[in-house]
Structure 1
Amino acid sequence: MRTTSRASRALVLAVAASTAVGLSACNRSSDSDTGTGGQAQIGVALITKDSTNPFFVAMQNGGKADAAKNNVKLTVASGKQEGDDQGQITAIEDAIARGDKGILITPMSTGVNAAIKKARDAGLYVIALDTPPDPADTVDITFATDNREAGKLIGQWAAAQVAGKPATIALLDLFSDKIVSVDYNRDQGFLEGMGIDVKDGKKNGDEAPTGKYTASGGGDYTIVCNEAGNGAEDGGRSAMEKCLAKNPNINVVYTINEPTAVGANAALKAAGKTATIVSVDGGCAGVASVKSGVIGATAQQYPLKMATEGMAAIATVARGGEKPKPDTGLDFKNTGVALVTDKPAEGVKSITADEGSKICWGN
């Protein structure tokens, strides 16, 4: 059933409530003097993929704002850019050397797994944020968006837009030389949402290049390309240019994140083409791109909640408290997702860009 205004308002209120823990950190006065009832301060490292992507900046800022609540000495580190495994490995080794009690990390790739194991062997409690490692038990637990579900939402929405007409699809992924769960879960989830059969659910690009999609009545599809944009605007533009060179008639574009989507749109515009672009993240800039029509729909996630709840969990465990547990049916704690679009689709629950802007993150 088409999402009504009342249902939409109910959804945004539910999402806002679920993220209240993270968002309230920005408005909380410092309680570093009292800590947690006189308990000793503990060291925690927050290691993101980079320090420029608005998603990771929001995560870092949320962690810093909330550290005093748990009497945590938070050290923030990151790779230099997406793909910098060694930068994260160095930060993990530094956390061990400092005697930190735990690590929050958005793992770059399987290349950092050995360093994470070294930290856990040294007694640190390690929580992955946003990107579940492969395998999942590389860390103690993951706090993340259900990226598969995020992909399915934008896939279902995209199928409703083509509505039985041929779908000529470009898939703009994260990497071509690394296997990252967030990458294949979003890509494969999108295809599943479109009703396209996937072969190996943990591998991008092995599905049949042509066939039938079954969502929203179904129709023919052609997958033109799987190109890596490295999660950046310039990468998204160059990846889209490569795809257009293969087939100028692309009408559906999946993008790993919103900077990639903006770059893809620039390439389409330069070529005098238009297409339905879908993405994942839900930062304020991305929601604004939905409002302006650059992105048709995006799946919104909540990095502040990941950071603040993860940090609180490490503090609890370090002081002898209960360890967090995965949500039922998942191997991680789900921090929520909502589809943001101003063109609601039949049977796909969503919120508007105006509603999404009230709970977005970043600038």
Structure 2
Amino acid sequence: MRRTTRAARLTAFVVAAAATLAAAACGPVASREAGEPEIKIGLITKTEANPYFVAMRQSAQAMAAARSATLMTAAGRFTGDNASQATAIENMVKAGVKGILITPNDATAIVPSIRKARAAGVLVIALDTPTKPQNATDALLGTDNFKAGQLIGMYAKDVMGDRPARVAMLDAAPVSSTSRLRHAGFLKGFGLAEGDPSIVCSTYSYGDQTLGRIVMRDCLRAVPDLNVVYTVNEPTAFGAHAALKAAGVEKHVLVVSVDGGCAGVRAVEVGQIAATSQQSPLKMAEMGVQAVVEYAESGVKASGFTDTGVKLITNKPVAGLASKNTSFGRQFCWD
């Protein structure tokens, strides 16, 4: 199967969304007419570097254009950077946005800024990552991150069978609610409790490829015979694989991850990653933009949690656990 391009995937998402909206309105999606008030939408991602958030921004931009809205964007300078996100919220409220879509870097610290925005009449929707408490935002559009972790935990357990597991866990930032949920889901899926002696290394990579390589190297130095690696995302997995390969043990260690980006799907194809849980950042973004436009036009606010879905991607399925192969994964991945 020929690899689907990022442009084609974004176009498909926008066309599908437009078709849904058109069906609901019994006609085509209308552009804003002259004299109608401009709809401004804010999007604040964790960073600008991670391909996951790049794809999310591009999808939001495409949907905003399709709905004749204006998208303002900002991002943290690094994973865990709450200050930049708080400043972005303040600036966007001053600029007159009707809604803000945000992937929080710090699930707790960002809450006061979100509350101020909501008090000013701005719809705030979390994408991908819930705040703490979750109801600090009007709505959450994202992956069931506990399920994403649980799927790869179940997969890893099935592959290991009765063999003793020596597990390394490479999480994101301590303040990340997404990281905590995936971590807990993996433990549940694998059948481990926190602090189990089978967990021989547990550390933070901040979702970064370079740090993933460094912390994996450190884990290997401490426990050379570890045989399972859980990573919070695929950039971390790429770094971990580089360290495993440098140590000459990459063929003896099972690596599982979460994301489902095109690079991650390719890594599953060539065996660098055994399985990954594939998310839908494009869907999160386009649904978020639609929700803000609807709020601006009708006053109806989105609410609650909408699960945008997750699929286990592997070319080596195990009995009793639903999964899709990399041909499927390529259709829904992002660059």
Structure 2 length-normalised TM:
0.89
Q: 2: distance between equivalents of 1:348 and 1:36?
A: 47
Match of 1:352 in 2: 325
Q: 2: distance between equivalents of 1:347 and 1:22?
A: 35
- 2:254 partner letter: T
Return the offset for 1:52.
Answer: 1.2
Return the offset for 1:28.
Answer: 9.2
Return the offset for 1:355.
Answer: 1.4
- 2:318 partner letter: A
Q: 2: distance between equivalents of 1:52 and 1:293?
A: 25
1:100 aligns with 2:64: no
- 1:322 partner letter: V
Match of 2:185 in 1: 189
Give CA-to-partner distance per residue, 1:27-46, whole Å, 9 cap, x none: 999xxx95257753211100
Return the offset for 1:117.
Answer: 1.3
1:268 aligns with 2:244: yes
Give CA-to-partner distance per residue, 1:184-225, whole Å, 9 cap, x none: 11011001001123xxxxxxxxx1332xxxxxxxxxxx1012
Match of 2:288 in 1: 310
State the secondary structure of the residue aligned to 1:299.
strand
Give CA-to-partner distance per residue, 1:155-210, whole Å, 9 cap, x none: 000001101110100000002xx32210111011001001123xxxxxxxxx1332
Return the offset for 1:248.
Answer: 0.8
Segments of structure 2 that go 5 or more residues without pairing to the other structure are 1-8, 19-28
| C-alpha contact (below 8 Å) 1:49/1:107 kept by paired residues | yes
Query: Which residue of the other structure, out of 262, 271, 274, is the alignment partner of 1:284?
Result: 262
Match of 1:43 in 2: 40
1:68 aligns with 2:65: yes
Q: 2: distance between equivalents of 1:28 and 1:190?
A: 33
Match of 2:196 in 1: 209
| C-alpha contact (below 8 Å) 2:80/2:176 kept by paired residues | no
Return the offset for 1:321.
Answer: 4.4
| C-alpha contact (below 8 Å) 1:240/1:264 kept by paired residues | yes
- 2:320 partner letter: G
- 1:25 partner letter: V
Match of 2:24 in 1: none
- 2:196 partner letter: P
| C-alpha contact (below 8 Å) 1:134/1:180 kept by paired residues | no
Q: 1: distance between equivalents of 2:82 and 2:184?
A: 24
| C-alpha contact (below 8 Å) 1:26/1:65 kept by paired residues | no
- 1:122 partner letter: A
Match of 1:166 in 2: 164
1:58 aligns with 2:55: yes
- 2:147 partner letter: E
Structure 1 length-normalised TM:
0.82
1:138 aligns with 2:136: yes
The runs of 4+ residues in structure 1 deviating greater than 6 Å are: 26-29
Q: In terms of mean alpha carbon deviation, does 238-247 or 180-189 score higher?
A: 238-247
State the secondary structure of the residue aligned to 1:143.
strand
Q: 2: distance between equivalents of 1:333 and 1:148?
A: 14
Match of 1:7 in 2: none
1:147 aligns with 2:123: no
1:226 aligns with 2:224: no
Percent identity over the alignment is: 44
- 2:247 partner letter: A
Match of 1:240 in 2: 216
Q: 1: distance between equivalents of 2:12 and 2:191?
A: 35
| C-alpha contact (below 8 Å) 1:21/1:308 kept by paired residues | no
Return the offset for 1:241.
Answer: 1.3
Q: 2: distance between equivalents of 1:261 and 1:124?
A: 37
State the secondary structure of the residue aligned to 2:74.
strand
State the superposition RMSD in angstroms. Answer: 2.0
State the secondary structure of the residue aligned to 2:316.
coil
Question: CA distance change for structure 1 residues 26 and 278 in 2, over 3 Å: closer, same or farther?
Answer: farther
Task: Provide the aligned length of Structure 1 versus Structure 2.
Answer: 313
